[in-house]
């Protein structure tokens, strides 16, 4: 479950071809183990539907039993080949249609608030948290918090409140998640559907990667109390949303691939052996040039620690937008 203050979780990342999850670390309150403890965590295997790959962010200290998001080398290779193929197809389509590629993008956002009942503990968060989340996204993606400016801005289109105990908490990879999304998803490939609620397994959130064909599972799931002003200590400034949407726009974690290979496919994010938690200033886990990118939105540090995307990530997101999500 998402945000239980006594449940230690860690942000994990796994990503797979389609879904990304962000696990929420609940713990926080004083019980967070040192970051090094996490790298020693045993690898966990979990069966997941072949068509649903997730990338999860977990809370520091929490040990999620299900880490849907670790992308294997083969999965990354598959995704990169798909991107190349999508780019070729779109280039041909645009040439035929006389259309250009987009340089700036306003993303319509439909927010689904999943509630168990009408209480705050039952998921009934106020609209003010949602409007604050949109503000945080616009600051993060415009570079106003210190990173590179990206092409993206976000416009709240609708808040849809749904009371359904069968969908609460939202369980990653469950048939209930599929039922929820199939019933609720709105808009085209360019519409961001954000599902808010209590989450399973200490997760902070998860998201889908872009695909050529629109899929009802497309969207991001975020712990409602991770929104700005929420109760998820250390993860309540809205950067879970920022991180998950990064996946929705085709970004990998900064620690993808560890110290070797092409890593996260972005040249200006220094290689990182494993996720960073809390805010370990000066951490340097690979011999390659550069300290670990612990302030990057695509790592697993506290919200107070992360504040930037890089120019390379901005470019990767826009390329993927034009390949997959542009009309």
Beta carbons of 169 and 2 less than 8 angstroms apart? yes
- Residue (10 or 57) nearer to Zn ion, CB: 57
Say how many CA atoms lie within 13 Å of 270 toward its Cβ.
Answer: 15
Residue 289 CB, shortest distance to Zn ion, in Å, is 24
Beta carbons of 284 and 60 less than 8 angstroms apart? no
Token readout for 309 is: 């995307």
Residue 117 CB, shortest distance to Zn ion, in Å, is 30
Residue 207 CB, shortest distance to Zn ion, in Å, is 7
Verify whether residue 225 is a known catalytic residue.
no
Residue 170 DSSP class: B
- Residue (22 or 223) nearer to Zn ion, CB: 22
The site for Zn ion (CB under 5 A) is made up of 13, 22, 55, 57
In the numeric block, the tokens 């993060």 are attached to: 140
Beta carbons of 233 and 33 less than 8 angstroms apart? no
Token readout for 65 is: 């039993």
Beta carbons of 268 and 259 less than 8 angstroms apart? no
Residue 195 CB, shortest distance to Zn ion, in Å, is 16
Residue 76 CB, shortest distance to Zn ion, in Å, is 14
- Residue (116 or 195) nearer to Zn ion, CB: 195
E strand residue ranges, the chain: 19-22, 56-58, 105-115, 152-163, 192-197, 203-208, 220-223
- Residue (116 or 314) nearer to Zn ion, CB: 314
- Residue (69 or 191) nearer to Zn ion, CB: 69
Say how far apart CA 90 and CA 101 lie, in whole Å: 9
Beta carbons of 86 and 17 less than 8 angstroms apart? no
Active site residues: 244
């Amino acid at each position: 479950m998402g945000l239980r203050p006594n449940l230690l979780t860690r942000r994990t990342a796994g990503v797979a071809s389609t879904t990304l999850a962000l696990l929420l670390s609940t713990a926080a309150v004083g019980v967070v183990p040192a970051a090094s403890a996490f790298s020693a965590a045993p690898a966990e295997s979990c069966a997941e539907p072949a068509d649903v790959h997730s990338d999860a962010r977990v809370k520091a200290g929490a040990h999620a039993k299900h880490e849907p998001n670790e992308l294997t080398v083969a999965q990354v290779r598959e995704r990169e080949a798909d991107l190349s193929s999508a780019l070729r197809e779109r280039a041909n389509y645009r040439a035929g249609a006389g259309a250009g590629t987009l340089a700036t993008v306003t993303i319509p956002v439909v927010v689904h608030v999943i509630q168990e009942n009408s209480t705050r503990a039952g998921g009934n968060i106020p609209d003010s948290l949602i409007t604050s989340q949109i503000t945080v996204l616009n600051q993060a993606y415009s570079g106003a918090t210190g990173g590179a400016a990206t092409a993206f801005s976000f416009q709240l289109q609708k808040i849809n409140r749904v009371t359904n105990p069968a969908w609460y908490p939202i369980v990653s990879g469950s048939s209930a998640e599929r039922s929820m999304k199939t019933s609720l998803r709105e808009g085209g490939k360019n519409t961001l559907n954000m599902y808010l609620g209590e989450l399973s397994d200490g997760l902070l959130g998860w998201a889908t990667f872009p695909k050529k064909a629109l899929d009802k599972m497309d969207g991001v799931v975020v712990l409602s109390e991770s929104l700005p002003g929420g109760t998820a200590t250390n993860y309540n400034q809205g950067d879970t949303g920022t991180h998950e949407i990064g996946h929705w726009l085709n970004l990998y974690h900064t620690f993808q691939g560890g110290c070797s290979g092409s890593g996260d496919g972005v040249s200006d994010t220094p290689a990182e052996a494993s996720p960073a938690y809390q805010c370990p200033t000066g951490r340097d886990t690979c011999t390659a040039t550069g300290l670990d990118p612990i302030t990057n939105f695509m790592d697993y540090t506290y919200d107070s620690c992360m504040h930037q995307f890089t120019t390379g990530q901005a470019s990767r997101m826009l390329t993927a937008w034009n390949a997959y999500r542009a009309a």
